[in-house]
């Protein structure tokens, strides 16, 4: 769908990072934006900054893990703006612990699935009926490259993002079968410079392998820690959030189901898909 002035978007996790950059990109195009986040003060500050820049925003403190709160977000958005065109399910978290799957913390699993997967499900349940009634609109689900490839020691995050890809593909198929003209884009970014990733960048830039080892599963050898460092070093050259946001908006306008913002890391995805296809024999 073409993004244009007069439309209304909802962005979850909009108080910082990629969500904030997406909201800024939409506001630049004259779109009014409902900003949802759990971080009350940061949300207020973000809304004030956007308003000072001339943007039309509605900050709504919302926990996407809470279905009723997301339904209330839909009601508030419609009451305030009278329409909704684009829904961006962006809010996401990582696990507290970096552990192999058999030692993973179950509370981490529950938290990550509640926000990353059910948060998107709640957004779809609350908003798609309104898009369907209007006969137009677009759903954007922010997954990750972790939704297309394995992430050692990040099983819960990886599973949640694979699930976001799966529900986006399912939603696309359902809308097609029901002939509902609503767009779906699932976004699979590589590393983006946001508060979510800044801790790891600081750690890598400090160059201290002892601190890095403390973040890794117990029992890693010095050589294994060095291998992890080498693998993570690419993060330091991560994408800026406004660049990622522009690529996402371009994918929405091109009505693309998949948006892979980072061309340079597609090889890992290609290897996985080729591995699966090779099993066809
Ligand atoms: N930064 C990256 O490298 C990267 C890469 C791939 C995918 N992603 C995905 O992009 C999305 C945004 O990530 P980011 O890097 O901007 O993260 P971030 O941590 O910098 O910002 C996330 C925002 O979401 C909010 N939030 C957290 N839980 C929430 C909840 N339950 N309800 C509502 N809001 C909530 C936080 O308060 C915060 O403002 C996430 O889904 C993340 O998984 C990020």
Q: Which atom, in ligand 1's list, is nearest to the CA of 43?
A: 39
Q: Which residues contact 246 (CB under 8 A, 6 or more apart)?
A: 25
Of 34, 147, 196, the one to substitute when testing ligand 1's pocket (max ligand atoms within 8 A of C-beta) is: 196
**Ligand 1 atom nearest residue 157's Cα:** 43
Around ligand 1, the residues with Cβ closer than 6 Å are 12-13, 15-19, 36-39, 62-65, 90-93, 115, 119, 142, 144, 189, 191-192, 194-197
157 is catalytic: yes
Pocket test for ligand 1, best of 14, 16, 18, 235 (most atoms within 8 A of CB): 18
Minimal-distance CA residue to ligand 1 atom 38: 13
| Class in CATH terms, 8-192+239-261 | alpha beta
Report the pLDDT value the prediction gives residue 28, as an integer from 0 to 100: 98
Q: Where are the domains of the chain?
A: 8-192+239-261, 193-238
Least Cα distance to 142 among 237, 265, 17 occurs for 17
At residue 235, the pLDDT reads 60
In angstroms, rounded to a whole number, what is the distance separating the alpha carbons of residues 262 and 200?
19
Residue nearest to atom 37 of ligand 1 (CA): 39
Q: Say how many Å lie between the CA of residue 14 and the centre of ligand 1.
A: 8
What H or E segment, with its residue span, contains residue 272?
A: helix 266-278
Other CB atoms within 10 Å distance of the CB of residue 16: 18
State how far the alpha carbon of 198 is from the alpha carbons of 13, 94, 144, 236, in Å: 17, 13, 17, 9
Question: Which residue in 238, 97, 95, 63 sits closest to 159, CA to CA?
Answer: 95
Residues in a beta bridge with 239: 192
DSSP 155-183: HHHHHHHHHHHHHHHHHHHHHHHTT---E
Atom of ligand 1 nearest to the CA of 161: 43
- Mean pLDDT in order along the chain per 10 residues (281 residues): 98 98 98 98 98 98 98 98 98 92 95 98 98 98 94 93 98 98 96 90 80 81 84 75 98 97 78 92 77
Catalytic hit among 22, 157, 160, 184: 157
Residues composing the chain: 281
| pLDDT given for residue 266 in this prediction | 67
């Amino acid at each position: 769908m073409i993004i244009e002035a007069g439309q209304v978007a909802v962005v979850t996790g909009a108080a910082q990072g990629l969500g904030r950059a997406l909201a800024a990109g939409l506001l630049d195009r004259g779109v009014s934006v409902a900003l949802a986040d759990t971080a009350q003060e940061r949300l207020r500050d973000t809304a004030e900054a956007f308003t000072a820049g001339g943007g039309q925003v509605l900050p709504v403190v919302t926990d996407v893990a809470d279905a009723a709160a997301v339904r209330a977000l839909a009601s508030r958005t419609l009451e305030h703006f009278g329409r909704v065109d684009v829904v961006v399910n962006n809010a996401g978290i990582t696990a507290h612990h970096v552990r192999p799957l058999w030692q993973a913390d179950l509370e981490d699993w529950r938290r990550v699935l509640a926000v990353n997967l059910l948060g998107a499900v709640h957004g779809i349940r609350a908003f798609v009926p309104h898009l369907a009634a209007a006969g137009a609109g677009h759903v954007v689900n922010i997954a990750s490259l972790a939704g297309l490839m394995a992430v050692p020691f990040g099983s819960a995050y990886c599973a949640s993002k694979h699930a976001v890809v799966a529900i986006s593909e399912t939603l696309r198929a359902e809308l097609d079968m029901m002939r509902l003209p609503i767009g779906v884009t699932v976004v699979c970014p590589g590393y983006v410079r946001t508060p979510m990733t800044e801790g790891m960048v600081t750690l890598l830039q400090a160059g201290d392998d002892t601190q890095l080892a403390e973040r890794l599963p117990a029992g890693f050898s010095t050589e294994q820690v060095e291998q992890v460092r080498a693998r993570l070093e690419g993060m330091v050259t991560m994408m800026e959030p406004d660049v990622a946001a522009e690529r996402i908006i371009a994918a929405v306008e091109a009505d693309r189901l998949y948006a892979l913002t980072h061309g340079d890391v597609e090889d890992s995805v290609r290897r996985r898909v080729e591995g699966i296809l090779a099993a066809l024999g």
